Amino acid sequence: MTKQYKTLGEFIIENQDSFKYSSGELSRLLNGLRLAAKVVNHEVNKAGLVDILGEAGDQNIQGENQQKLDVLANEKFIQTLKKREIVCGIASEEEDDFISINSFDNQHQNKYVVLIDPLDGSSNIDVNVSVGTIFSIYRRVTPVGTPVTIEDFLQPGVNQIAAGYIIYGTSTMLVYTTGDGVNGFTLNPALGTFYLSHPNMSFPENGNIYSVNEGNYVHFPQGVKDYIKYCQKEEDDRPYTSRYIGSLVSDFHRNMIKGGIYMYPKSSVASEGKLRLLYECNPMAFIAEQANGLASDGKNRIMEVKPTELHQRVPFFCGSRNMVEKAEEFMKNANA
């Protein structure tokens, strides 16, 4: 008798009533993201075969060359959310400014805004390394029925209603939280259905994996250097294993299952690090905390950082509780 796994659709409906804001709108929103994920997954999986590799010729606001798949993924998620009139606004890594969504009969009646990194780790696309989509959902703070403003997007991470990621890896998974734990769903490509394969995901309190681009070592603050050397010392439970894919979603996902810490520190060449607060760090921090992990900027809880700009960057330390706390201890001592 093969085990019957619950589908993502069934899970969303079952949990809708437990969600304190349950109006069905969040369920429709999550189902919209599920659909877009399947479309993008199809394109990612055939990327090597169709002329969608390589640069689209444009650059995004970060000054990064946009890969065609970046552009395609961005379009697919925005189209899906717009067409279904599920949200009143969208912000994306690939868009300079936020998008206010209004249609004649909708008049901004929806209450959610979504912030998204449509294809994170896109520099890995051409070398066939896994990439991901990251999303973050908030209730708008300005009055329903009016156009959204930047204030609806510049909310601290603690205000998030839901957050999640899709990892396009050896299998495609959708992992998300609405504040009641973290659940992972694996896509059966033959059926086009996501099944609950990883219920109640949780970071092991300790881990032995550290993920950081050590090519930047000489530019790191002393406390980060000290922590990396601690990870390499032959004593107690160390040396740890260094694993760095260069794709946040992939490094995060592996560390959540096996135990580990992901670090993208500030440095002398990147004063605030590289990762974006609103559509990379906050959603991953929400998931991390819901999975008994931690996420900080090296000193403060990421989800309490008050955003000031849509694309602002922040140093990021995220993963197993004890490892993040140890890294913070080294940074505190170095500054003492």
Among 7, 31, 65, 123, binds ligand P6P (CB under 6 A): 123
How far apart are CB 312 and ligand P6P at their closest, in Å? Answer: 14
CA atoms of 306 and 312, how far apart (whole Å): 11
CA atoms of 39 and 277, how far apart (whole Å): 26
Compute CA 168 distance to the chain's CA centroid, rounded to the nearest angstrom: 13
27 marked as binding residue: no
State the virtual CA torsion across 218, 219, 225, 228 in degrees, nearest 10.
-80
122 marked as binding residue: yes
How far apart are CB 141 and ligand P6P at their closest, in Å? Answer: 27
In terms of DSSP H, where are the helices of 233-308?
Answer: 248-258, 282-290
Name the residue among 272, 297, 273 with its Cα closest to residue 284: 297
Site map (CB under 6 A) of ligand P6P, residues 270-299, x = contact: ----xx------------------------
Residue 143 preceded by cis peptide, ω within 30: no
DSSP conformation letters of 107-157: TT---EEEEEEEEETGGGGGGT--EEEEEEEEE-SSPTTS---GGGTS--G
State the virtual CA torsion across 58, 62, 63, 64 in degrees, nearest 10.
-70
The residue among 275 and 294 lying less far from ligand P6P, judged by its C-beta, is: 275
Token code pair at residue 311: 């694309």
Based on the shown chain and the rule CB under 6 A, indicate whether residue 149 belongs to the binding site for ligand P6P: no
244 marked as binding residue: yes
Among 213, 292, 312, 322, binds ligand P6P (CB under 6 A): 213
The residue among 70 and 152 lying less far from ligand P6P, judged by its C-beta, is: 70
Do residues 319 and 288 lie in contact, with contact meaning Cβ atoms separated by under 8 Å? Answer: yes
Of 8-16, 22-30, 118-126, 194-202, the window that binds ligand P6P (rule: CB under 6 A) is: 118-126
Angle between helical axes of 321-335 and 222-232 (0-180°, round to 10): 130
The residue among 177 and 247 lying less far from ligand P6P, judged by its C-beta, is: 247
The C-alpha angle 326, 312, 94, rounded to 5 degrees, equals 120
117 marked as binding residue: yes
The residue among 121 and 307 lying less far from ligand P6P, judged by its C-beta, is: 121
How far apart are CB 93 and ligand P6P at their closest, in Å? Answer: 9
Footprint of ligand P6P on 8-37 (CB under 6 A) = none
Of 98-106, 115-123, 164-172, 322-330, the window that binds ligand P6P (rule: CB under 6 A) is: 115-123
The residue among 56 and 141 lying less far from ligand P6P, judged by its C-beta, is: 56
Which positions ≥6 away from 226 have C-beta within 8 Å? 330, 333, 334
121 marked as binding residue: yes
For residue 209, count other CB atoms closer than 10 A to its CB.
21
Footprint of ligand P6P on 216-255 (CB under 6 A) = 246-248, 251
274 marked as binding residue: yes
How far apart are CB 250 and ligand P6P at their closest, in Å? Answer: 8
Query: Which residue ranges make up the annotated binding site for substrate?
Result: 120-123, 213, 244, 274
Binding site for ligand P6P (CB under 6 A): 120-121, 123, 213, 246-248, 251, 274-275
